[in-house]
Homo-oligomer: A and B are copies of this chain.
Amino acid sequence: MFDLKPIGKVASPLASLADAPRQADEGAPAAWLVFEPDMLEGLRDLKVGDEVVVVTWLDRARRDVLSVRPRGDASRPPEGVFSTRAPHRPNPIGLHHTTVLAIDGVRVQVTSLEALDGTPVIDLKPALAADVAQR
């Protein structure tokens, strides 16, 4: 086991699972990432327009699930979770490719984010050209 330390939280109009879109390109709203005050040094080179990967801990997901029905559709057969982006998985890590819209101290606004209000943020990384080149 490893200890994961939240470094911030999502502030979003998405309040419940019923509000959340399945993927970011299905209408997720812009959201603020509110980092802990002691993370400011790590954020100082972030710029508006940066393409980033927000890494979250999907704290309302189930961790005891290894098969899921895609998109919750009962008519489809269950799939192994590691072939899906379902939040329910042994370590409920969310990856969100977004663009920085605004920065105000430790508050960073990003484009469409399919994570609920209050979701812990655990990392932020620049998106790399290499991420795309390998596809």
State the A residues within 8 Å of B (CB). 1-7, 23-25, 39, 41-46, 50-51, 53, 55, 57, 59, 63, 66-67, 79-85, 89-91, 93, 95, 97-99, 111-112, 120, 122-128, 130-135
Please indicate the chain B residues that have their CB under 8 angstroms from the CB of A41 in the complex. Answer: 66-67, 80
Minimal beta-carbon separation of A29 from chain B (angstroms)? 14
Complex Cα–Cα for A23 and B23 (A): 28
Chief secondary structure at chain A's binding surface? mixed
Can you name 9 extra interface pairs (CB under 8 A) apart from A42-B80, A50-B83? A4-B91, A23-B130, A25-B130, A39-B82, A42-B81, A42-B90, A45-B79, A82-B125, A97-B135
